[in-house]
Structure 1
């Protein structure tokens, strides 16, 4: 189990939220963060993914795509709700958050598209 404090104790974090593992848009988003993990790490940010998928589904998806970051599971959707990532029907809205070391949210993109999430997050972190 990873706590939010642990996520940002020693470095910043980019937390991306996706509706469902193993779908095309979510895979596009995850692979984009995978391709940019070095640029984010070089600026002091770790990457984490979060959805309501069961841990077994997360693990299979992570292995299939060799995703080099933790995938977190919030099956009861309490964290997702607290972050504003739930639709009225309890579906999940794609988002990402850039969080500074120590826990201050620097940027929040709620309802961002799978094609836009990675370049927007990377541009925010790198200033490019």
Structure 2
């Protein structure tokens, strides 16, 4: 289990939220962050993914695509709701959050498309 404090204690974090593992848009987003994990790490940011999928589904998807970062499961959608990542129908909005070391949210993109999420997050982090 990873706490939010642990995520940003020693470095910043890019947390991306996706509706469901193993779907085409979510895989596109996850592989985009995989391709850019080094560029983000070089700027002091670790990558984390999150959805409401069960841990076993997350683990299988992570292994299948060789994702080099933690995937977090929020099966109750409590955290997702607190981040504003749910629709009124309780469905997950694709999002990403750039969080500075220590916990300050620097950028929040809620409802962003799978094609736009990675370049927007990477551009934000690397322009700093």
Q: TM-score, normalized by length of structure 2?
A: 0.99
Within 5 A, what are the aligned runs for 1:19-98? Answer: 19-98=19-98
Structure 2 residue aligned with 1:119:
119
For the residues of structure 2 that align with 1:9 and 1:127, how far apart are their CA atoms? 22
Matched, 1:6 2:11: no
**Helix, strand or coil at the partner of 1:90:** coil
Root-mean-square deviation (CA, aligned residues, Å) is 0.8
For the residues of structure 2 that align with 1:78 and 1:62, how far apart are their CA atoms? 23
For the residues of structure 2 that align with 1:38 and 1:93, how far apart are their CA atoms? 26
Residue 80 of structure 1 deviates from its aligned partner by 0.1
Residue 68 of structure 1 deviates from its aligned partner by 0.1
**Helix, strand or coil at the partner of 1:36:** helix
**In the TM superposition, what whole-angstrom CA distance separates every residue of 1:39-68 from its partner, at most 9, and x where no partner exists?**
000000000000000000000000000000
Q: TM-score, normalized by length of structure 1?
A: 0.99
Structure 1 unaligned spans of 5+: none
For the residues of structure 2 that align with 1:84 and 1:54, how far apart are their CA atoms? 20
Structure 1 residue aligned with 2:102:
102
Structure 1 residue aligned with 2:15:
15
After TM superposition, what 4+ stretches of structure 1 lie above 4 angstroms from structure 2?
none
